[in-house]
Each structure stands twice: as C-alpha cells, then as structure tokens.
Structure 1
Amino acid sequence: MIVSSAFSGKRYAILGLARSGLAAAETLLASGAEVVAWDRQDVARDKLAGRARLADPLEMDLTGFDGVVVSPGVPLNTHPIAERAARLGVPVIGDIELFALARAALPPHKVVGITGTNGKSTTTALVHHILESAGIPARMGGNIGLPVLGQEPLPVGGVYVLELSSYQIDLTRSLACEAAALSNVTPDHLDRYDDFAAYAASKARLFAMQAPDQFAVFGCADEPTDAICATQRARRAPGRAVCADRAALALRQADWPALQGPHNLENAAIAAALCAELGVANDAILAAMASFRGLPHRMEVVAEHRGVLFVNDSKATNPASAAPALAAYPPVAGGRARVHWIVGGLPKEDGLGECEAHLGNVGAAYTIGEAGPRFAQLLNGHVRVERAELMCQALRLAFAAAGPGDVVLLSPACASFDQFRDYEKRGEYFREIVAMLTGAPAGVVVDPCAGKSAA
C-alpha cells in the first residue's frame, strides 16, 4: 500500500467503497488522515467499521474538508455531491489525485499516463510488459488492474504505468506525468459531457498538467488528437510533443502475433515512443513486442497449432469493436482469405456495421447464438457460412477447415448474455475448447461438445 505524510492530520470524505474507494480509504487511514466514508451497501461499509466514521457526505457538513474522494463512475454532471462540494469550496477528486499528492513521499520514480477513446488498455499493458522485459521495475494501475494506491511502492527508478479514462482525468488536478500518451479521440461517454468538444477537452487536461519539458506522444490519426498535439507542441521544446511513428514499425509488425492490425500498429508506435523516452533500447522494445501476449479477451492469442492461430477477441461485443480484429488478418499471398470468424450472440444492433468493410479477409463464418440466423442471412453470398449455434460446434467446424496460415477468430460482434454470463466466461470457454482440440493426439478425433454446455 502507498502511504504519505502529505495526508497526515487532513480530513477526507469518501463516497463509494468499491476497489478504488476502499484503496483510497486504506491509504488515507494508514497515512494519519481523518476519514468519513460511505457506500450504499452495508457489506462495503463494514470493511471500515471502527476505523473510519461512516456517514453519507451528502448529509453532513463538509466545511473544512480537504477533499471528497469519489469513484470515476460518479457522474459529476448530474450527481448532487459535485454541487454540494463546490458550494463549500471542497475539491472533488479521485484516487489518482491522491496518488499524485503522495508521489513526493515515494522513492524517486517516473509516471506514464495513457489515455484515449480506444487502445489505451492494450497500450498500457504493452508499456508495462516492455518495461518489465527490460528489467525496469513497473506497476500497472489506474483504469486497469489493481488500484495504484493498493499496490506496494516501487523501488528507486521504478515506473508507474497508468491507464486513465476521461472520468479519472476529471478527478485529477496535479498529476504531472513524465511521459503521457493520447491514442485517439472519437465520440464516447457523451452522457457525461455537454458535447464532444467537452469530452476531448477532458482528455487534453492530462497534457495540460504536464510541465513543458515533459514528454507526450499522440496518435494523430484523427483531427481532435492532432489538434491537441499541435497545442502541446506550441508550449514545449522541439521533440517533447510528437506524433507516433507508425511507419518505423510497420515492417516488423508481422513478428508480433498479439499486435496485428492497424489499430495495434498505433498502439505499438505509442508504446515504443514512451519506452524510448524512459531509456529502453530499441532492440529491447522490439523483442518485448514479439513476446507480448495481449490482454485477456482482446485479440488474445491462445494457441498456435499446426500453423493455425487461435485468437480470443470475446471483448468485441459490437460490430465496431469486432472490425479491427477482422482487419488485422488480410489475405495471404494469392488472395486466399484466412479468417475463420466465429460471430454471434445477443445482438446490440442490426447489421454488420464496420465489419462489412473487412469481409474480404474472411474465408468462412461460423454463426452462433441468438443472432446467428441474422448474421447468416447478412453474410450469405459474401463468405461461406456455417450455422453452428453453439461455440463448441463452431470451433469443431473451424478446426477441421483451417489450414496453415489461417486464423480461427472469436470476435462475436455481440453481447454474450444469450449463452454466457459475460464476455469473460465466453472467452474462457473458447480457451477451454481450443485447448481440448489442440491437445488431442494426432489422429484422435475429439468431440468438443460432448458433455459441454454454455457457461
């Protein structure tokens, strides 16, 4: 756990005691702060019983408090705590701001902050992997993994790698990252912001908090990101605000199984720029990219068997998120489409959406779940279609049909709830069936559906 004398004798109210809220409470208590905490659930409050005052900040006088700590999930544009705290001059902050305030008490270190509408989780995990592969002590936190305050402090020379959502940036005032990145900005979370411009401005705040001599890298493939880069370039020395150099890595991307596709080339270019800024040699960066396995359920390479790649992209719960996976595996020499696409589930929308542009990469589609018949109808005439209904059936068919150089891809473009509890369970089931099929002795035919049911 991270503790700091900066909190000693101060007063904080905490609203919400899920993972980040509870970690904040533990840090503040261990640091000698007075803590008032509240959560709607008794079981959450019980964890602090006898150690913190349990009271609802909405029903008490907050005069003189040093901050109200809220979860990033609290909508500041509508929740009454924002107006109440503002009226009393009390800042509303999150656990990342507490981390920023605690930094002075930690051994000398650096912080990398990574944000963006898409790609920030993969980029964060990739930077963490490169640093650890290069022998640099690193912790990963923020919007991914464990709350940063709940982790053990790094030794001298360590690097904290933080994925930061716009919500977390909204709750942060003083985090000056030694290196920061913005992958892209596209319309999202507009229920929390007045308009798209306000959402983009939230992302830009991460870079406004940096000093002019600190480093920032940007995707620059969309106009809002390019505009933020230009603004930062104007206030910094040459080379301290740059666009990611995709071209420098494009010829090496084929060597990185978990980083295929244009979107992952952007992620890799951003990660490479950040790690180079942190002193990692180029050869070490390239070697670590080849060994990166990806995040669970996000284009996760789960096996390679007889030249066939098996990829779990269960997190793709709509066509827009499945499209990058299809784009990642273009036809092999001679024009043979090599993707065996497992698609279907509980539909979120009707139609193929952005996936339609990449059907030339699909050799066959195996439709499953409630949306299976509709996908079969949409895909018929464009690619070969096998109606499977269950994933075990789809994998049995794809395993039999796929040859060297092919990719068996679970990227359902649908929610999981027709057959699975969540996308994680769906991805775990995919892994289990792939292990069964690839682990069978040569010449032995196994039935992956025998005794199997959806989870």
Structure 2
Amino acid sequence: MTFADPLEIDLAGYDSVVVSPGVPLNRHPIAEHARNAGVSVIGDIELFALARPSLPPHKVVGITGTNGKSTTTALIHHILETAGVPSLMGGNIGLPILGRDPLPGGGVYVLELSSYQIDLTFSLDCDVAVLTNITPDHLDRYEGFAGYAASKERLFAMQSAGSVAVIATDDDQTKRIASFLRHSREGGNPYSQGLEVMDSRLRGNDGVVAVLSTDITGQSRWPALQGPHNAQNAACAIATCKALGLTDDQIEQGLATYPGLPHRMERIAEKDGVLYVNDSKATNATATAPALAAYPKIHWILGGVPKTDDLDDCAPFYDHVVAGYTIGQAGPMFADILRTAGKLVTESGTLEQAIADAAAAAKPGEVVMLSPACASFDQFSDYEARGEAFRTLVGTL
C-alpha cells in the first residue's frame, strides 16, 4: 500500500482537505498548501453537516465550552434516551459521529464540539447550540484568549432562523457573547437574525437562553451531579431539553438517573456509610477544586506528576477536607502545603495504601475521594488506568 503526501499533491480540483482536529492549522503547512490551491480545510463534523439533508428528519444539539462540555453532552443524551427520544452522542466524545448508523426520523444528534472541531466546521446549523463557559485554554493554537473565545462563538454564527442558543452566563466571555447575540439581532445583523430565544425564565424573543447555575433547584436529588460545576452543566441541559420540547417530569427523571461519566466525580460504591468517589480525570488543581466543593467532609487522595507547585485553586475548599492522603511524585510537596494549611495529612505513597489509610479513618457520612490534581504518569499509564485501579481497590475493601 502506498500513501500519498498531501503536501506534494496538486490540490486543484479537490473540494476540500479533511484533517483531524488535532492538526494545528496555525502552524501546519497543510493550511497554506490548501489556501494556495483555493481549497477549504474541514473536519469530520463538517462532513456530517453536509450529509444532513440526506438523513431522516432530525435535530442537532451542539455543545462547546472550556469545561463541562462532556458531562453536559452525556447528560442531555441521557435525558433524551430516558424520555424515549432516539439519540446519538458523538463529536469529541465517544465514537465518531460518522461511524454511527443514522437515527430514525425524530432523532436528536448530541455533539460535543471542541474549539478545534468548530474551526474545521462551516455549515453546522445546530437546532440548539450550547456554551458552558470560557476560560483560557489552548492558547498555543490561537492569537490570545480573544481568538480562543471567538472560535467558540462561531458555533452560534452558523445557526439559522428558528434556532436556540443556550449560554451559561457565569463568566465575562459568555455574558459578552449572550449580550452580543441579542443586540446583533435587534440591529438586523444576520449573525443572529431570527433566532428564537429564551432565557432561564423563558422570557424574551431574541433567541438566547441565558442560564445561571445559581438558578438551579433540586440538585440534591441528582446524585451524580453534585458541586457548583455540575449545577452549571445541569442548567444548560435543562434549558436545552426544554427547547427540544421535553416536559419537566421527563427532564427530572433523566437528571435523577444520570450515572455520570467515568473518572469524573464518579460514585464508585458506598461501604459502611462511606461514599467512594473517583475523580481521576482531575489532573490539575483547577479541575479538583469543584470536586472539593461538592461534599462537606472529604478524605482527599491526591498526588502524582504535578503540573504546578501549588494547590491555590483548591484552597477555598480546604474546610471540606477532613484529611489528605498524598501519593506519587507530588506527595511530599502537597503534604507540606496541606500541613501548612492546618490539615491532617498521611503520606501514603501509593494509591493502594492511600485507600487503605482513608478507609480506616473515614466515618459514616463522609467521602473518600480520588481527585489527584496531578497527571498520572509516575505510577499509571494515564488517568483512566488510575481511575480503574481506584475502582478495583475499593471493590476489595
């Protein structure tokens, strides 16, 4: 088998070059090569968008944001399935959407979309487009934070009349985008002309559902959706499912039965009144902080390969930490930080020992949580292997 080098092919006559979202278009030579030939560079989501007219009647929900988009995507998909609505989940989560069989008529495709995927998409007209939040990320691919935010914003620019925009307005960038959508429609800008919009109280007619996580009630009834970050995810999912026509009872049933994603505040087991939670996906302090906020009494297992030399983002929630159990390369450093903050610490060294130490100390009503605030590569192949080890070890208690 012979593979051609796309950089040496004469692209004249081609419609497009299809690349992986991981290809950095800001510095990869394929971008200039395609531009010189007048050929667009697209991704698999654009191929799906182009194929939509040939599919049975359906709707598309697109979810983007810096954090929470995987949980929000999976939650919307679960609510729809629980309500009996045919649904497929894809994009930046699970199997590629082009690798799935088409849905029957009336189905809903629920797509998690990274900024990289949006950059390669030009005609995805989402019936509901969702933005969870925007914080600095992937800045090596963009001209600063503004360029990154503009990439997320393009999801709404592709929407047509009658579409709904759901935006969690908990940060400055999302507030700006929601405001711009509304004002641009009032001014006749085609960017949002004709959007059918609701806000969290179903007011207005400008096409934007602006939701705030502080508006959420009932979170205590949804076991897998604890913590302020999951309040935001739930707020977006509720607004989206209402826009799709689901009833409050259907939405509540989905929220209450949502099992959560593996390694993301995953409830593993409850033993002798102690809950064990796997948050192995939290590979930095910023990701761990919401997990610490979710429960009032935590035996915290942390450590691994550190990405920073501090735990500053976690500090506001130290009052939720009953004790810390450090592992891996960062163990001694994190132990010093927690002791300086007045917390009890055991330098367990390994995950197996940390679970044994925490299980021996935890009382009924408390939580033993793996939320490492570190990469895993000193002791595990990846965060998934670390989480699976936690699950197995808890099962042996």
Question: TM-score w.r.t. structure 1 length?
Answer: 0.81
Q: Deviations along 1:328-369, whole A, 9 cap, x unmatched?
A: 11x3xxxxxx10100111111101120111101100111111
Partner of 2:32: 83
Match of 1:278 among 228, 240, 244: 244
How far is the alpha carbon of 1:404 from its aligned partner? 2.2
Relative to structure 1, is the Cα distance of residues 224 and 248 closer, same or farther in structure 2, using a 3 angstrom cutoff? closer
1:233/1:242 contact within 8 Å kept? no
How far is the alpha carbon of 1:321 from its aligned partner? 1.0
Residues paired across the two proteins, number: 378
Whole-angstrom CA distance in 1 between matches of 2:127 and 2:243: 9
Identity of aligned residues (%): 62
Match of 1:291 among 257, 267, 282: 257
How far is the alpha carbon of 1:258 from its aligned partner? 1.4
Report the residue type matching 1:218 in the other structure: I
How far is the alpha carbon of 1:198 from its aligned partner? 1.0
Of residues 180-189 and 279-288 in structure 1, the stretch that sits farther from structure 2 once superposed is 279-288
Whole-angstrom CA distance in 2 between matches of 1:301 and 1:293: 8
Of residues 377-386 and 358-367 in structure 1, the stretch that sits farther from structure 2 once superposed is 377-386
How far is the alpha carbon of 1:405 from its aligned partner? 1.7
How far is the alpha carbon of 1:248 from its aligned partner? 4.2
Of residues 158-167 and 300-309 in structure 1, the stretch that sits farther from structure 2 once superposed is 300-309
Whole-angstrom CA distance in 1 between matches of 2:383 and 2:212: 33
Whole-angstrom CA distance in 1 between matches of 2:209 and 2:103: 28
How far is the alpha carbon of 1:299 from its aligned partner? 0.8
Partner of 1:140: 89
Q: Deviations along 1:135-179, whole A, 9 cap, x unmatched?
A: 111111000000000001001111100000000000000000000
Partner of 1:210: 159
The answer to whether structure 1 residue 306 and structure 2 residue 272 are counterparts is: yes
The answer to whether structure 1 residue 265 and structure 2 residue 231 are counterparts is: yes
Structure 1 counterpart SS, 2:283: coil
How far is the alpha carbon of 1:293 from its aligned partner? 1.5
Partner of 1:8: none
Report the residue type matching 2:127 in the other structure: E
Whole-angstrom CA distance in 2 between matches of 1:237 and 1:118: 26
Which structure is higher in RCO with an 8 Å CA cutoff and minimum separation 6? Answer: 2
Partner of 2:204: none
Whole-angstrom CA distance in 2 between matches of 1:198 and 1:385: 42
Whole-angstrom CA distance in 1 between matches of 2:306 and 2:388: 20
**Long gaps (5+) in structure 1:** 1-48, 332-337, 438-455
Whole-angstrom CA distance in 1 between matches of 2:392 and 2:138: 34
The answer to whether structure 1 residue 200 and structure 2 residue 157 are counterparts is: no
Of residues 230-239 and 390-399 in structure 1, the stretch that sits farther from structure 2 once superposed is 230-239
Matches within 5 A, 1:185-196: 185-196=134-145
Report the residue type matching 1:110 in the other structure: K
Structure 2 counterpart SS, 1:324: helix
Whole-angstrom CA distance in 2 between matches of 1:73 and 1:405: 43
1:342/1:367 contact within 8 Å kept? yes
Partner of 2:216: 249
How far is the alpha carbon of 1:247 from its aligned partner? 4.1
Structure 2 counterpart SS, 1:57: coil
How far is the alpha carbon of 1:212 from its aligned partner? 3.3
How far is the alpha carbon of 1:216 from its aligned partner? 0.8
**Long gaps (5+) in structure 2:** 186-194, 199-206
Question: TM-score w.r.t. structure 2 length?
Answer: 0.93
Match of 2:317 among 348, 358, 364: 358
1:309/1:407 contact within 8 Å kept? yes
CA RMSD after TM alignment: 1.2
Relative to structure 1, is the Cα distance of residues 306 and 283 closer, same or farther in structure 2, using a 3 angstrom cutoff? farther
Partner of 2:5: 56
